[in-house]
Chains A and B, each alone.
Chain A
Amino acid sequence: MSAYPQTPYGGSARVPPRRIGWAALDRDAPLRRLDWVLLAAVVGLLVVGSLLVWSATRQAAIDSGGDPQAYLKKHVLNIFIGTGLGVCAAMFDYRTLRMYAPIVYGLSIVGLLVVLSPLGATIRGSHSWILLPGGFSLQPSEFAKVALVVGLAMLLSEKRDAEDSPRDTDVLLVLVGAAVPLALIMLQPDLGTALVVSSIVIGMIAVSGARIRWVVGLLLAAAVVAFAVVQAGLLDDYQVKRLTAFVNPGDDPGGAAYNVSQGVIAIGGGGLDGHGLFHGPQTQGGFVPEQQTDFIFTTAGEELGFRGGILLIALLGLILWRACRIAWHADDLFGRLVAVGVVCWFSFQAFENIGMTLGIMPVTGVPLPFVSYGGSSMFANLVAIGLLQNVHVRRSLLPD
């Protein structure tokens, strides 16, 4: 039950800004008000993900005489750094955060521009990376998702005086604001992230209450663009191949469809119970490329079987349910839109990632949230969780 007095006008009450730190164990302390179910689901995914990353990388390291735990260690380090970033994102009241939205947005644009400069690097066919000294690398498009979520939420919830839904000019502004990073991402080219970003934009505009014609129009536009891109040959050959490989994986078993067929074989071979962690023959034999990153789910499918795979999907579902719930109970449109943006991001990216390993989605390189190896995406994901908690902690109404 809420410790705050409810106003007669419903959810419009302003909650005084509170800071985590003092009276942390107070009954109404922010720490107690955290969404623990959400946190538990995230921790669950992080644990399983770490095991999977370990399993997917240790054999190759052993074969080449390297440290079998090298990837695991870096992965755990990434989790800790990400958790720190997430805590930061949760601490400052999100309503003050919106002040910084333009800065975050501007920084992400700069990051994306740097990628396209000579400082950028190409990894796995995508020119999406900035190499840092000491063997670290950054993927600005991951941070751009966070920036976009916050930035769009700000734009769409601005100027709330008379209207209770965004005006057409707001929506236009949002589209322009989203078009810039989207274009930069497409230039890399990173088709998968572009798709995720598009789903974030459309989802947030829809839930912002903008007129229905915007939603329908955007969905239609997305369909037309997708069709035109494939038809007009704007994609590189490898992209078209990866997209079509999932329709006919038998076409070219050694080439573009290799990932798909090997991944499907690995998952299918796992059966109900799986081969057991560290015992998946496809995984340990190194048959599935990119297995610790984009194809991590094949390790889950092969080694943990249907039980393990469905557990991962269920944990993701749990996170999405909690995020939806946070959106529903958010105090204001800004908070709700931040949560909705995260829901769209995670749901589409998870569907795209797992779907491609199951052979029902085209192969586009996006990581599986909280599970795949990779610093930038782990940081971005945990920051997003921080934002969700931020909105959750500072709501005024509690249903339970």
Chain B
Amino acid sequence: MNERSGLRLVVLQVLVLSLIATLGGRLWFLQVHSGEAYEAAATSNRVRDIVTPATRGLVVDVSGRPLARNRTALVVSVSRTELLRQSDGGKSLLTRLAEVLDVDYADLKARTTVCGQPGAVRNVCWNGSPYQPIPVADGADDDMMDAVQQILERREDFPGVTAEQQSVRDYAGGGVGANAAHVLGYLGPVTEDEVAQAQADGRPLQSSDLVGRAGIEKEYDAYLRGTPGVRRLSVDSQGGVTGTISETDATPGDYVVTHLDAAVQKATEDALAAAVKGARTTGDPNKGGQKFKADSASAVVMDVRTGGVVAMASYPTYRPNIWVGGISQDEYEGITGAAGNYKILNRATQGEYAPGSIFKAVSTAAAVDAGFSVHRSYNCPGTYNVGNHLKKNYESAAYGVISFERAIEVSCDTNWYYFADTVWNRLGGYEQRSDAKDPFVQAAKGYGLGEATGIDLPAEAGGRIPGREWKQAYWKATKAAACVRAKKGYPEVEDRARAAFLLQLAKENCTDGWRYGPGDEANFAIGQGDVLVTPLQMARVYAAVANGGTLWVPQVAKSVMRPDGTVVKQFAPKSAGKLPVSKDTLSFLQRALTKVSVTGTGAGVFRGWPLDQVPMASKTGTAEVFGKQSTSWFASYAPADKPQYAIVMMVTQGGTGSGTSGPQVRKIYEKLLGVSGSTVRPATALQPGAAPPKGLPRITEDGRVLPPASAARKAAAKPKTPARTPRSTASAGTG
């Protein structure tokens, strides 16, 4: 044998040794170095959890009426695994199923497509676990029973299709027909990321769970969800059960008691719809009698003593039950798309609008701060020259020299132009770059504008306070685009006058866009120009004026209770601060707003109202929006002498405040305060005693929810309360 052979034998030995060493090293790594991790993996391998879903908690109104509850329905589900196992990918199976269920094949296809895969439609696609049966239809009616019957009889035609009794959400409207879609929100299947996150947070979610996606359902999901029951079984590799390791029962979700009152909510929704309908049959005098579009609207009823939201409505709206059992593609596009005018938006908290004259409740405080006494008289001409620009009163009305109070009553804009112009000059005109000394900006901030109110609803908008600093920042952000337009103009705009105006605007914005002129200050003072607020913000402002200056953090939820009636959490009223006004100014403002309903712009609204018994504080607003019809606003609180509720309603492209919103707000008050014609019967009020109940609903042992004891007693004790004793408007004026 040659040396070459021997040498190569040595090489072979080295190779063999290294193979052995590799195995040994890897074995050490697996067993000694990271053995513990594998031990955990082995444990999870041998354990199966059988999960009993928890019943979701109810959402009830202030007197215990169910707004969101659960009902049993037959739910038809499709196993995606079984679909994929079909030779045609499940096409024929889904076609058969669509026929039986009387729905479109495309709809079933969309619902059983896993999100993120080709052809998936957002929010319709299945974003739960791909291994989870996907619910495609539910119902309790006869059609559904028939369909299920067919599916069960033709099992071989429907492999992987199951039909079983399940608990599904039911938005019951309190049993009085309320909708409250925007406040309640909706549920959607949980995503795999959320399951992982919930695991880490110690609030386990199953891949079959639904979680709140908007509104109260989302905000209080952790309470409503409950804890699923888990039976932990040890199993062998075939899934055969070898024993029970542990067992916990499902804990049903907690109830969320809201400040909402289903009856008031219903009344508010009806009034809002009527306001929209009314506007659409009214001609716009400024647009040659063209009818108002009234494309969106909103109303908020707030308890001025707690900041509780008694009712909140947004228009256009939708049936909240379309979310139950999965939403169809058409329905989803219908409520989220431009064609449906973004029905899903809650205009009360997410819509931002110029407030117009109802903003005077804010800018009055600014004027006082700037030294304009409320006890003096001011000239109210038809027009006022602001920085070489003639600005008019509404319909150029001139009232001569009038008191400050009267200026609020008739909503004299020129008065505030004078205040603003004076302030602007005093601050140093164009030289002033800071908002720090501008009383209008400071007052708006002090009234809680320009930032979210902190209401317990997700995705709230904050509005905008367009002071000097905002304008500079805005100019920096938009300068480039404006300068391009200043050169190129607007060739695509057909209306030549409008194109010329836009070009002029672009030229100004390009070079001088940062300049905060007297016109800006004047617009700010009357809630026009770039000022944006949400209806909720204004409801809170008027509630604060009413209650003596406390700016509440608005609350929808009042408390959280266990299904056995134990109170888990009480949400005490939360103050966000005090209005930045003196007591004197505040009582002046209260007086002035009360007079508005008597002899001011709100007088027409409250014609025939028993003002002597129930004085009303109100303010109309008709905000101009460039290129659109005016926005109708009506802000109010009542009773003016003993305030309980504040109501704000607005209708975009809806005409005047007194013409469109005012009368409908009055309708709400009639029901809310028990006013019929000129008689007042608090017992007939929607809320007993014309005040929100103080106590909490009671839950009986068999699970029924009863109204609060105090309210029940009150209603029982005073079945026929006589009309209130008359009170003079004079006493109301000082209150």
In the bound complex, CA of A286 to CA of B11 (Å) = 41
Closest to A270 in B: B31
CB proximity to A under 8 Å, residues B87-128: none
Q: Is the CB of B5 within 8 A of A265?
A: no
At the interface, yes or no: B477 with Cβ under 8 Å from chain A?
A: no
Note all chain B residues with C-beta closer than 8 A to A360: 22, 26
Q: Which residue of B lies closest to A328 (CB)?
A: B9
Q: Which candidate, A68-76, A136-144, A205-213, A224-232, is the interface stretch facing chain B?
A: A205-213
Cβ proximity bits B1-36 to A, threshold 8 Å, 1 near / 0 not = 110111011011101110110111011101110111
Distance to closest chain A CB from B158 (angstroms): 25
Which residues in B have their C-beta under 8 angstroms from that of A348? 19
Q: Contact partner of B1 among A209, A264, A317, A347, CB < 8 A?
A: A209
B41 touching A265 by the CB < 8 A rule?
A: yes
In the assembled complex, which residues on chain A have CB atoms less than 8 Å from the CB atom of B146? none
Q: A265-B38, A271-B31 are in contact. Are A282 and B45 (CB under 8 A)?
A: yes
CB atoms of A317 and B20 under 8 A apart = yes
Cβ of B704 under 8 Å from chain A: no
Residues of A contacting B39 in the complex (Cβ-Cβ under 8 angstroms): 268-269, 271
Q: Which residue of A lies closest to B39 (CB)?
A: A269
What residues on A are CB-neighbors of B236 within 8 Å? Answer: 63, 285-287
B725 at the interface (CB under 8 A from A): no
Closest residue of B by beta carbon distance from A165: B2
- Interface size of B in residues (CB-CB distance below 8 Å): 38
- The digit string for A252-294, where 1 denotes a CB below 8 A from any CB of B, is 0000000000101111111110000000011001110000000
Q: Does A309 contact B (CB under 8 A)?
A: yes
Give the docked Cα–Cα distance between A271 and B39 (Å): 8
Contact B23 A336 (CB under 8 A): no
Given contacts A268-B31, A268-B37, A301-B31, contact A207 B12 (CB under 8 A): yes
A329 to chain B, nearest CB (A): 11
B41 to chain A, nearest CB (A): 5
Complexed CA–CA distance, A328 and B23 (Å): 25
Chain A interface bracket (under 10, 10 to 19, 20 to 34, 35 or more): 35 or more
Q: Closest approach, in angstroms, between the C-beta of A107 and any C-beta of chain B?
A: 28
Per-position binary interface string of chain B over residues 69-103, scored 1 when its CB falls under 8 Å from any chain A CB and 0 otherwise: 00000000000000000000000000000000000
Q: A209 contacts which chain B residues (CB < 8 A)?
A: 1-2, 4-5, 8
Collect the chain B residues with CB atoms within 8 Å of residue A215's CB. 8
A45 part of interface (Cβ distance < 8 Å) = no
The yes or no answer to B46 lying at the interface (CB within 8 A) is yes
Measured in the bound complex, the distance between the Cα atoms of B24 and A369 in whole Å is 17
B464 to chain A: closest CB distance in Å? 49
Closest Cβ of chain A: how far from B240's Cβ, in Å? 8
A316 near B: Cβ within 8 Å? yes
The answer to whether A351 touches B2 (Cβ under 8 A) is no
Using Cβ atoms and an 8 Å threshold, which residues of chain B touch A267? 27, 30-31, 38
CB of B42 within 8 Å of the partner chain: yes
- Note all chain B residues with C-beta closer than 8 A to A309: 27, 31
- Name the B residues within 8 Å of A393 (CB-CB): none
Report A-chain residues with C-beta under 8 Å of the C-beta of B17: 317
Contact A165 B4 (CB under 8 A): yes
User: Is A305 interfacial (CB-CB < 8 Å)?
Assistant: yes
A23 CB within 8 Å of chain B: no
* Cα–Cα distance between A262 and B42 once the two chains are bound (Å): 8
**Counting CB contacts under 8 A, is A354 at the interface?**
yes
Q: A164-B2, A358-B30 are in contact. Are A207 and B9 (CB under 8 A)?
A: yes
* Distance between Cα atoms of A70 and B4 in the complex (Å): 50
Interface residue B388 (Cβ < 8 Å from any Cβ of A): no
| Complex CA–CA separation, A264 to B32 (angstroms) | 13
- Asked whether any CB of chain B lies closer than 8 Å to the CB of A327, the reply is yes
Judge if A222 is at the interface, Cβ distance under 8 Å.
no
Contacts of A320 in B (CB 8 A): 16, 20
Could you tell me the distance in whole angstroms from the C-beta of B31 to the nearest C-beta in chain A? Answer: 4
Partner pick for A281 among B22, B30, B42, CB 8 A cutoff: B42
Q: Indicate if A52 sits at the interface (CB-CB under 8 A).
A: no
Q: Mark A224-247, 1 if CB is under 8 A from B, else 0.
A: 000000000000000000000000
**Residue A344 lies at the interface, judged by CB distance under 8 Å to chain B:** yes
B237 interfacial contact with A, CB 8 Å: yes
B27 contacts A165, C-beta separation under 8 Å: no
Q: Which of chain A's residues have a CB closer than 8 A to the CB of B5? A: 165, 207-209, 333, 336
Contacts of B8 in A (CB 8 A): 206-207, 209, 215
Assess whether A272 is in contact with B32, with CB atoms less than 8 Å apart: yes
Flag whether B238 is at the interface (Cβ < 8 A): yes
A324 at interface by CB-CB < 8 Å: yes
Knowing A285-B46, A332-B1, A336-B9, say if A269 contacts B41 (CB, 8 Å): yes
Flag if B45 contacts A272 (CB, 8 Å).
Answer: no
CB distance from A153 to the nearest CB of B (A): 12
Contact A324 B27 (CB under 8 A): no
Which chain B residues (259-278) contact chain A, with CB distance < 8 Å? none
Please indicate the chain B residues that have their CB under 8 angstroms from the CB of A173 in the complex: none
Chain A residues, CB < 8 A from B22 = 351, 355, 360
Closest CB of chain A to B325's CB: distance in Å? 30
Q: Give the contacts of B410-434 with A (CB-CB under 8 A).
A: none
B16 surroundings in chain A (CB, below 8 A): 320, 324, 343, 347
Asked if A41 CB lies within 8 Å of chain B CBs, one says: no
Q: Are B27 and A269 in contact (CB under 8 A)?
A: no
The answer, yes or no, to whether A306 is at the interface (CB within 8 Å) is yes
Binary contact readout B694-706 vs A (1 if CB under 8 angstroms, 0 otherwise): 0000000000000
Residues of B within 8 A of A388 (CB): none
CB distance from B234 to the nearest CB of A (A): 9
Most chain A CB inside 10 Å of its own CB: which residue of B17, B31, B45, B236: B31
User: Which chain A residues (140-167) contact chain B, with CB distance < 8 Å?
Assistant: 164-165
Q: How far is the CA of A94 from the CA of B23 in the complex (A)?
A: 33
Query: A275 vs B143: C-alpha distance in the bound complex, in angstroms?
Result: 59
Q: CA of A281 to CA of B243 in the docked complex: distance in angstroms? A: 14
Most A-side CB within 10 Å, residue of B11, B35, B37: B35
* Given known A-B contacts A267-B27, A268-B37, A287-B45, A340 and B4 have beta carbons under 8 A apart: no
A351-B19 contact in complex given A207-B12, A265-B45, A324-B12, C-beta closer than 8 Å: yes
Instruction: Report chain A residues within 8 Å CB of B13.
Output: 321, 324
Q: What 0/1 pattern do residues 346 to 380 of A give for CB contact below 8 A with B? A: 01101100110011100000000000000000000
- CB neighbours (8 Å) of A306 from chain B are 27-28, 31-32
Question: Could you say which residues of chain B place their CB within 8 Å of the CB of A340?
Answer: 9, 12
Residues of B within 8 A of A313 (CB): 20, 23-24, 27
A317 to B22, CA, bound (A): 12
Whether a CB of chain B sits under 8 angstroms from the CB of A15 is: no
Residues of chain B within 8 A (CB-CB) of A111 are none
Whether the Cβ atoms of B35 and A272 lie closer than 8 Å is yes
For the complex, give the distance between the alpha carbons of A122 and B51 in Å.
41
Assembled-state Cα–Cα distance A45/B377 (Å): 111
Question: What is the CB-to-nearest-CB distance from B84 to chain A, in angstroms, rounded to a whole number?
Answer: 14
| Inter-chain contact A272/B237, CB cutoff 8 Å | no
Give Cα distance in the complex from A207 to B7, angstroms: 8
In the complex the two chains form, what is the Cα distance from A90 to B28 in whole Å? Answer: 37
Find the B residue at minimum CB distance from A286. B237
Contact of B27 among A265, A301, A317 (CB under 8 A): A301
CA distance A367 to B37 in the complex (A): 28
B residues contacting A by CB (< 8 A) are 1-2, 4-6, 8-9, 11-13, 15-17, 19-20, 22-24, 26-28, 30-32, 34-39, 41-42, 45-46, 235-238
Q: Can you name 12 A-B residue pairings with CB atoms under 8 Å?
A: A206-B12, A207-B8, A264-B30, A269-B35, A287-B236, A327-B9, A332-B1, A333-B5, A347-B16, A351-B19, A355-B22, A358-B23
